[in-house]
Structure 1
Amino acid sequence: MTFLSHRTVSILGVLGKLAASLIIVLSAAWGALALWYHLHGGAAAQTIGALLWAALGIGSVALWWLRGSARALLPYGVGFVLMLVWWSLIAPSQDRSWADDVARNVTGSVKGSVVTLDNVRNFDWRSDDDYTVKWEQRSYDLDELRTVDTALSYWTGPLIAHTLVSFGFADGRFLTFSIEIRKEKGESFSAIGGFFKHFETSLIAADERDILRVRTNARGEDMHLYRVLMPRAAMRSLFMAYLDEADALKRKPQFYNTLTANCTTIVFEMARRIVPGLPLDYRLLASGYLDRYLFDVGALVPGLTFAQLRDGGHITARAREANDDADFSHAIRRNMPGYDEDGRAVRQMPKQAPRR
């Protein structure tokens, strides 16, 4: 009995040491990536800093196992505390050499029911690298708000999609909001970098012929568009939530985070302020399946199966065909669920949707 007790204690001790070693190695990997993304001096300095930090972590664990004394971890422990202090001091900025398409964040003011937006993007994209820069001031009457649509743009397989939300007005205009990384000139998106304070958050408001067309036609992404059924008051509140987010970013910039503060999770948090009780779901992280989540909570056009909604909202080919159409927004919506053959919103909806 005593032998078994000593053996159990010994096994537990080894397992605990293995677990602690794994945590240290993982923290060393995190620190190496943090240094890689934030050290100044170019790729050489980043590589040297990351390798030295990783070597310190792994070497400390090796000495611990060889010598049997946890004191071998002391230098790494001190270094990791200093690393956390340095990390906490990395702050987002408003002033960098931003890429043209995220050079400005939208801002807005409200007078009665009329919202006036500054820095609405309306670029003319000929390719991803060839475009005409155009920022506009636009006004919208929220009393004339009629529809809300969600676009999912797939750029890296079925799991991940970029989420955009588009508001349609009675005068036929559409305005799309998109929460994106605010990349600097010469930068490109990195999902890993999004975990390491590598990008600030940008809130873009844009004409659909800019922000949807650039993804389908210039960048070769695949897009699905869905009409989201919301009471008029909820539509208005969601629009205003975007303005609140814009005001917050104007007052204090924020870092984009691939997991906790991305294009889908931020939209969900805004929507949950308007419709309490929306369930948390893994599809808020696996954003490519957000459409199925919206279907399951009853937010999409009723009377159709999910497959019918997805097929009917597959607008990639229509967007490419409508590339030069001045009425791009209605062209991509023709016969889409919730819209008629002219791309105008249908008011009378079926009462129930098959749950398939």
Structure 2
Amino acid sequence: MSLLFIVLLILLACLVLGLAAWGGFALWYQCPGPRWARLLVMTAWSLPALATLASLGALAGAGGASAWGPLAFVLALVVLLCWWRGIRASHDRVWADDVACMLVSQVTGDRVRLDNVRNFEWRSETDYDVRWESRDYDLSQLVSADLLLSYWMGPAIAHTLVSFGFTDGRRLVFSLEIRRERGESFSALGGFFRKFETVIVAADERDIVRTRTNARGEDVYLYRLQLRPDQLRKVFLGYLERAAQVRATPRFYNTLTSNCTTIVFELARRLSPTLPLDYRLLLSGYFARYVYDHGVMTPGYRFEQLREAGRITGRALQSGPGDDYSKVIRRGVPGVGEDELR
């Protein structure tokens, strides 16, 4: 038996294992019913794969190999792929309160009318007042943008948000998030298998940032971005464009290709088309360093200085009900002018 033949058998075995694992997870996250029923379906799916591996093992041992296993596996794979292609994203589900409404925008010159801006009052993750608002903004008064990273599961993974500031002191935060159904919880692995739809949320900072620092106990960092007025406008309108696309055509969230960090990267490429792909787009906890390396943060500081000064968690926890949350969290952040803090 030649070495080439053995290598080919090993590659085929790896392919079968990979397809079997992918199919198993797809069935686990997409099949309805209790856990035992999903385990039963996964077991039935795995049998042709195991038979195929046994046939490959028999070939490697120069023994007789049955053809029924590989044939059954190919047939099962074709059926699985046809089923997978038929899974469609939908807006017609019973959504969790914080993602129940979709952003609607109307842009006329510099004037922007937004409906369904979220402004919840969060006392805890489960205790909150539901409040969706309509707001008007003047893009000629758009003066700043801040990148926020919120950490909840170690240094490598963070949720990415962008907050826009206006001359009147108002701020609006955009975030691409999973659109959870009521009672559903996030799963990074499930995000690879069409488990969740996606939604663009526009929210007040006291809602979408404060719930992370004060209600969920996440660790949040804020960095001032150095963007020209025309660039600020392009990124702001880019979020509105993406929100309109998602509203028109439901889309699945994907942990790798369509998440809170990749949308920032996509919009940044509108400003600089040559921005390179980077592992930090997947390991979003390091995304701030990627932005720093491309010269978009406040100059004259080491990244470690910006990170230390931009850690807003402590200031947020000390803020009181009567404080201006947005001003409190920006105290000492490089690039933030004194006029913003008055």
Q: Same fold (TM over 0.5)?
A: yes
- Residues 194 and 258, structure 1, Cα contact 8 Å, conserved in 2: yes
Distance between the aligned counterparts of 1:110 and 1:272, measured in 2? 22
> Are residue 68 (structure 1) and residue 65 (structure 2) matched?
yes
Specify every segment of 5 or more residues in structure 1 that has no aligned partner in the other structure, as ranges: 1-6, 346-356
Letter in 1 for 2:52: S
Residue of 139, 156, 159 corresponding to 2:156 = 159
Report 1:1-356 matches (<5 A).
Answer: 10-66=2-58, 67-69=64-66, 72-340=69-337, 343-344=340-341
How far residue 56 of structure 1 moved from its aligned partner, in angstroms, is: 2.5
TM-score (normalizing by structure 2):
0.95
How far 1:267 moved relative to its partner?
1.6
Partners of 2:34 and 2:183 in 1: CA distance: 14
How far the C-alpha of 1:326 sits from its partner, in A, is 4.4
Distance 1:342 1:112 in 2: 27
Inter-partner Cα distance in structure 2 for 1:138 and 1:119: 9
Q: Is contact 2:231-2:271 (8 Å) kept?
A: yes
Distance in 2 (alpha carbons) for counterparts of 1:152 and 1:110: 28
Q: Kindly indicate whether the alpha-carbon contact (under 8 Å) linking 2:48 and 2:70 is maintained by their aligned counterparts in 1.
A: no
C-alpha separation in 1, matches of 2:34 and 2:129 = 31
Contact 2:90–2:197 (CA<8 Å) still a contact in 1? yes
Residues 83-109 of structure 1 show CA distances to partners (whole Å, capped at 9, x for unaligned) of 111101100000111111111121100
Structure 2 CA distance for aligned equivalents of residues 29 and 280 of structure 1: 27
Q: Aligned-pair distance for 1:343?
A: 4.6
| Aligned-pair CA distance for 1:69 | 5.0
Distance 1:261 1:323, change over 3 A: farther
SS in 2 for 1:243: helix
The secondary structure found in structure 2 opposite 1:198 is coil
Relative to the length of structure 1, the TM-score reads 0.92
Work out the CA distance in 2 between the residues paired with 1:165 and 1:203: 12
Q: Following the alignment from structure 1 to structure 2, what is the Cα–Cα distance between the partners of residues 264 and 196? A: 18
Question: Identity of aligned pairs, percent?
Answer: 51
Query: Quick check: 2:143–2:229 contact (8 Å CA) kept in 1?
Result: yes
Please, what is the CA RMSD of the aligned residues? Answer: 1.5
Does structure 2 conserve the Cα–Cα contact (< 8 Å) formed by 1:97 and 1:185?
yes
Judging changes above 3 Å, is the alpha-carbon distance between structure 1 residues 25 and 38 closer, same or farther for their aligned structure 2 residues?
same
Q: CA deviation at 1:340?
A: 4.3
CA distance in structure 2 between the partners assigned to 1:222 and 1:59 by the alignment: 48
Contact 1:64 1:73 in 2 (8 A): no
Displacement of 1:22 after TM fit?
1.3
Runs of 4+ in 1 over 3 A off after TM superposition: 69-72, 340-345
- For the 8 Å contact 1:331–1:342, the answer to whether it is kept is no
SS in 1 for 2:162: strand
Size of the aligned set, in residue pairs, is: 337
Q: Deviations over 1:101-149 (max 9, x none)?
A: 1111211001120111010000000000100000000111000000000
Amino acid at match of 1:56: P
In structure 2, C-alpha distance between the alignment counterparts of 1:58 and 1:232, rounded to whole Å: 59
